[in-house]
Chains A and B, each alone.
Chain A
Amino acid sequence: MIRKRLPALTLAATLFSSSVALADDVSIGAVFPLSGPNASYGDVFMSGANLAAKHANEDHMLSGDLNVLYEDSQALPQHGVIAMNKLVNVEEVPYVLSAFTGVSKAISTLAQRSETVAVNGGGVGPDLAALGEYFWNVIPLANNEVGAASKYLVEELGLKRVTLIYVDDPLGAGILNELEKTLEPLGGELVEAHSITPSAQQFSGVAARVRSSNPDAVYIASYGAQQLQIVKQLRDNGVDQQIISYSAFSLPSLQALPEAKGALYTTQSIDWDSTDPVTKRFVDDYRAANGKTPTSYVANYYNAVRVFALLAKELEAQGKDVTGENLLAQRKATDKFELVGGSVSFQDNGTLLAPIQVLEVTGGAGEIKKVYAED
């Protein structure tokens, strides 16, 4: 009987052997959308994380090889929790990369309870800064970008009266709060704020109200295809004031939209032509492998893995275990991290502080108008 079952047992053992890392290897996890409508994001995030692991291994930063174990969240909270549970309880990783606001929030409770560090490099909703000390953001959140936008509008362009069109979600609410907070001290004013639903596609009514309030500039806090519609319909309805937004305007389809030409937007400042060794190596190797310039998403997940490698290297040098608790303590004890984009630091809430740049939509890659240092 046993002999009859042996081939089947062997096959089962082989199939379910999983990608178990070698004993000396160091593994971290990643909960990304690898299938479903958001799978393309997962591919982008993976390219950054894999490149960082490759560089860490080439440099022998850690005692063993660094592996990234991927689990599919399908960008859904429940799948994210199942994936996070597997990474924490089966693979026992101390550090997990996360993406998408819903998934990040859903896994943050488990991260906190299991003392596992979870790191976001994609979502920019301001509420991601309040998910506990084990949840970090290696990306400046949208509220960090708003301060730079307000300064540029008021101080550089003299545009003081601003109207906001925002999606009625935590991201939009965060930008509304930040505009209210930053414009007034600069001598500016938030004239009106129009909330829209995430699925709205008709904005002629909003455009009419914007026109009647006659602001100096219109701030758009939306994302995806909707922001294209807003820009187009504002212009079609005679709103010719300066348009400004946050990093969501980096979307290639928006950059190519004729009506968006001349609009301003802010992003994390990364100079792809920098001679800084970390940035240069990242950009050169990414271009060599993919034949194109990386995006900020690729850089963010590269940085997320690099932060782990730097912290783990330091912990190993001190003879300490690479656990979530020790990683958190080491991050708090580290003032600066040499990452892609330059030397950056974390705020107390675990969110990265980075320089913010103001760009103009030109139809190409965007023209940098001004860079504001981290504050």
Chain B
Amino acid sequence: MTAYILNLVVLISIYAILSTTLNFIIGYAGIFSLAHAVFFGIGAYTSAFVAMNLTPSFFVAIPIAMVLAALTSLALALPALRVRGEYFVAASLGLQMLAVTLFSEWKGFTGGIGGVIGIPPVEIFGFALVKPWHFLILTLVCLALVIAIIQRLVHTSFGRSLKSIRDSESAALAAGKNITVIKTLSVVLSSSLTALAGGLYAFYMAFINVESFMLATSVLVMAMVIIGGTGTILGPIVGAALLMLLPGALSYLSFLPQTEIGSIQQIIYGSAMVLLMIYRPGGIVSPKTRGEAA
């Protein structure tokens, strides 16, 4: 039982990093991206490639993955962020579709559709993290770091600029803000931290394939942010925990047939989103309880 709970907590932590980094651009900058799974995938594939061909060291594989994700996001952000809102959504959707094809076809790097198997355990200063609770500590430390970085950033002038762009791009422009640079930086930072989650995921699962980095994952992470509460620190973590625990919790309800759990889960997701938008548009962590919200 302990191992099962550890497994769930590790996955929740990884998804909490994903939702926290997506919340950084959605909640604070007002940039809706449907390509978050792309950077998750770049992080995972790059870390796996480095671990299998160079070294499984955390301090080598993860930084390389983060740099590669940052560069890729720059390629998306620079042209796409020169336009407003919905155009970025369309551009990010295009990137997501392009990336899925690339992940499926670039066999030398991603293993193609068959994926990458046999990823070695991550090492820290030569110590291989084999036991689940070792990995849990690493994941929780990473999550805490990501939260600390983002919390620090949103309380700086950079964070205030992001919020001003989110609330009124025209007003921010009139106030002399360089909107393109600020938005680009936020996307680059978010993507590189997302790659950290990708690296952790690859090392934890020891197997990755394209099915984990498709549009459905981007939508799932977005649902975590919206259900949990955008523009808050706690909201995305609550959202990640809820959506990751729901399938497992439903499987313990013995009166529900296993064949219906997936459908019930989808109905609960959909209903929760609709009800939240009606009664609590800010998400579960509502504006009344979120002291840190803008």
Contact = CB atoms under 8 A, between A and B. Distances in A.
B115 A70 contact: no
A205 to B, nearest CB: 18
Interface string A105-143: 110110000000000000001010001000000000000
A105 B258 contact: no
B200 interface: no
A72 B207 contact: no
B211 interface: yes
Contacts of B3: 85, 88-89
A34 B206 CA distance: 24
Given A74-B262, A101-B114, A105-B117, A89 B207 contact: no
A12 to B, nearest CB: 10
A127 B261 CA distance: 31
B248 A106 contact: no
A89 B7 contact: yes
Contact of A77 (B7, B212, B252): B212
A178 interface: no
A175 B147 CA distance: 48
Nearest to A33: B262
Contacts, number: 108
Interface string B241-283: 0000001100111110011111101000000000000000000
Interface string B193-237: 000000000000111110110000000000000000000000000
Interface string A75-106: 01111011101101110000000000110011
Contacts of B252: 15-16, 18
A36 interface: yes
Contacts of B104: 197-198
Interface in A1-41: 15-19, 34-36, 39
A35 B259 contact: yes
B253 A15 contact: yes
Chain B contact residues: over half helix, strand or loop, or mixed? Answer: helix
A155 to B, nearest CB: 32
A185 B209 CA distance: 36
B254 A18 contact: yes
Interface residues of A, number: 41
A39 B253 CA distance: 19
B8 A106 contact: no
A170 interface: yes
Contact of A90 (B4, B11, B208): B4
Interface string B1-27: 111100110010000000000000000
A168 B208 CA distance: 18
Interface string B101-120: 00011010000111101100
A184 interface: no
Contacts of A35: 259-263, 265
B83 to A, nearest CB: 29
Contacts of B251: 71-72, 83, 86
A335 interface: no
Given A72-B251, A102-B209, A109-B207, A125 B114 contact: yes
Nearest to B264: A35
Interface in A29-67: 34-36, 39, 42-43
A82 B254 CA distance: 18
A105 B209 contact: yes
Nearest to A167: B113
A348 interface: no
Nearest to B257: A34
Given A35-B262, A170-B113, A105 B4 contact: no
B211 to A, nearest CB: 5
Interface residues of B, number: 37
Given A17-B254, A78-B212, A169 B7 contact: no
B129 to A, nearest CB: 13
Of B112, B251, B258, chain A has the most CB atoms within 10 Å of the CB of B258
A361 B265 CA distance: 41
A170 B210 CA distance: 14
Nearest to A101: B114
A106 B119 CA distance: 11
Contact of B211 (A72, A77, A88): A77
A255 B262 CA distance: 32
A39 B105 contact: no
A78 B11 contact: yes
A193 to B, nearest CB: 15
Nearest to A100: B211
A169 B107 CA distance: 9
Contacts of B248: 82, 86
24 contacts: A17-B254, A34-B259, A34-B261, A35-B263, A36-B262, A39-B262, A42-B259, A71-B258, A72-B258, A72-B259, A81-B205, A82-B8, A82-B248, A83-B251, A85-B3, A85-B4, A102-B115, A102-B211, A127-B114, A168-B105, A168-B107, A168-B112, A198-B104, A198-B113
Interface of B: 1-4, 7-8, 11, 104-105, 107, 112-115, 117-118, 205-209, 211-212, 247-248, 251-255, 258-263, 265
Interface of A: 15-19, 34-36, 39, 42-43, 70-72, 74, 76-79, 81-83, 85-86, 88-90, 101-102, 105-106, 108-109, 125, 127, 131, 168-170, 197-198
